[in-house]
């Protein structure tokens, strides 16, 4: 289980298209950044698409160089002998459009003006991200994906694949997902947005990359962090410990949890673009699998493949009842569906923190699927 895919490279492909978006606008030309691990088999039947979450990227496994400090974000899942076994599967991960890690996003050059899009970039739905991914899958010559797997926003992408490209997926594995975020989730994103809008450095999106609205983005990230954790995980990790460096009665004295949020917020500014953060937050809020359909039922009736769903007991961002809403409709529609509520204290982040709690079920799901081919 400790084997790595080794040194990998993010590749990039340009599509000279005008992608028709849900908003009615078009986006193009498009660049997509992606990585692949393992080998596509002769029948092209072993391709697995890994879909990343809000602040993720195409670098899901391996290292970019021998001195690379950290491996890809889901390295524990992807590699020889791992759950997504690269001796067996051809694993693809691409950066979503709207993001800032090589795929077209608000900091890309708008071909119509020769300048960065900034707020001229169109508001995207998750469906649009998947539409762009379909271009990549076609480009790689893959007719049908063995599965699409992802957590959080990745789960949304998996579901969109199954609804809109039913002939092109043999299964989906949505983890810590939702059919549509709750008003609570929207409210938290609203705080994050406002934190950025309040920062004079944001300049309505026209900041220079070297002068980002650091205070605003760090605070926005702290909002996110809280929603990814849980009351219990904070109790376990921080409790009510006061920072050893501060006096309890100092006005600016901090509890450990506070210091952690500040520290991580600051680090985030180094690696993420503010406008991308805002655009993707918007895509999350707008996500609704039934968008454009008469009902949740009619959207989910499009599914032609088996799906396996995981929700986490302490996830209060996309709480289990939201996955269950989708799963129950799928069951009513007699779709082949498996659902597991995983007991975990780590909130929404459980899918990253405690993968061992659900991966055995992923393994057997994939084995059964492979046996059927």
Contact segment (CB under 8 A) with its own copies among 135-143, 221-229, 295-303, 361-369 equals: 221-229
**Residue 278 contacts residue 196 (beta carbons within 8 Å):** yes
Q: Does residue 109 belong to the site contacting its own copies (CB under 8 A)?
A: no
Distance of CA 367 to CAs 5, 28, 50, 79, 340, Å? 21, 39, 17, 16, 17
Q: Does residue 215 belong to the site contacting its own copies (CB under 8 A)?
A: yes
225: annotated active-site residue: no
315: annotated active-site residue: yes
Binding pattern for the stretch 244-273 against its own copies, x by CB under 8 A and - elsewhere: ----xxxx-xxxxxx--xx-----------
CB of 295 to its own copies, least distance (A): 14
Binding pattern for the stretch 18-47 against its own copies, x by CB under 8 A and - elsewhere: ----xxxx----------------------
- Number of neighbours of residue 238 by Cβ within 10 angstroms: 16
Q: Which of 273, 348, 349, 350 is catalytic?
A: 348
152: annotated active-site residue: yes
Quote the CA–CA distance of 136 and 355 in Å, as a whole number.
28
Residues 285-304 that bind its own copies (CB under 8 A): 285-286, 288
Residue 67, exposed/middle/buried by CB under 10 A (0-12, 13-18, 19+)?
A: exposed
CB of 185 to its own copies, least distance (A): 9
**Residue 86 contacts residue 80 (beta carbons within 8 Å):** yes
Binding site for its own copies (CB under 8 A): 22-25, 119, 122-123, 180-184, 186-188, 190-191, 193-195, 198-200, 215-216, 218-219, 222-223, 226, 229-231, 234-235, 238-240, 248-251, 253-258, 261-262, 278, 282, 285-286, 288, 316, 319
């Amino acid at each position: 289980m400790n084997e790595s895919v080794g040194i990998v490279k993010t590749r990039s492909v340009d599509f000279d298209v005008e992608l028709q978006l849900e908003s009615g606008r078009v986006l193009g030309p498009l660049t997509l950044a992606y990585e692949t691990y393992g080998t596509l088999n002769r029948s092209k039947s072993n391709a697995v698409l890994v879909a990343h979450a809000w602040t993720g990227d195409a670098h899901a496994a391996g290292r970019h160089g021998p001195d690379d400090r950290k491996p890809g974000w889901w390295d524990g899942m992807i590699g020889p002998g791992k759950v997504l076994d690269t001796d067996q599967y051809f694993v693809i991960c691409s950066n979503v459009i709207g993001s800032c890690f090589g795929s077209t996003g608000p900091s890309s050059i708008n071909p119509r003006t020769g300048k960065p899009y900034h707020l001229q970039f169109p508001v995207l739905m998750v469906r649009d991200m998947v539409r762009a991914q379909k271009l990549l899958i076609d480009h790689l010559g893959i007719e049908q994906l063995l599965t699409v797997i992802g957590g959080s926003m990745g789960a949304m992408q998996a579901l969109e694949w199954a609804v809109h490209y039913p002939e092109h997926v043999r299964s989906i594995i949505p983890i810590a997902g939702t059919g549509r975020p709750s008003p609570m989730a929207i409210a938290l994103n609203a705080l994050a947005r406002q934190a950025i809008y309040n920062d004079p450095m944001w300049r309505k999106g026209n900041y220079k990359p070297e002068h980002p609205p650091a205070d605003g983005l760090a605070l926005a990230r702290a909002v996110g962090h809280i929603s990814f954790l849980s009351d219990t995980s904070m109790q376990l990790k921080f409790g009510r410990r006061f920072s050893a460096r501060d006096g309890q009665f100092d006005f600016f004295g901090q509890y450990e949890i506070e210091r952690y949020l500040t520290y991580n917020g600051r680090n985030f500014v180094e690696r993420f673009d503010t406008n991308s953060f805002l655009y993707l937050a918007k895509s999350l809020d707008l996500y609704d699998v039934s968008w454009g359909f008469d009902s949740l039922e009619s959207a989910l009736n499009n599914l032609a493949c088996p799906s396996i769903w995981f929700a986490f007991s302490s996830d209060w961002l996309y709480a289990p009842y939201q996955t269950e809403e989708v799963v129950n409709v799928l069951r009513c529609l007699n779709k082949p569906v498996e659902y597991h509520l995983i007991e975990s204290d780590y909130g929404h982040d459980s899918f990253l923190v405690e993968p061992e709690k659900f991966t055995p079920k992923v393994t057997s799901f994939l084995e059964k699927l492979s046996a059927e081919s």
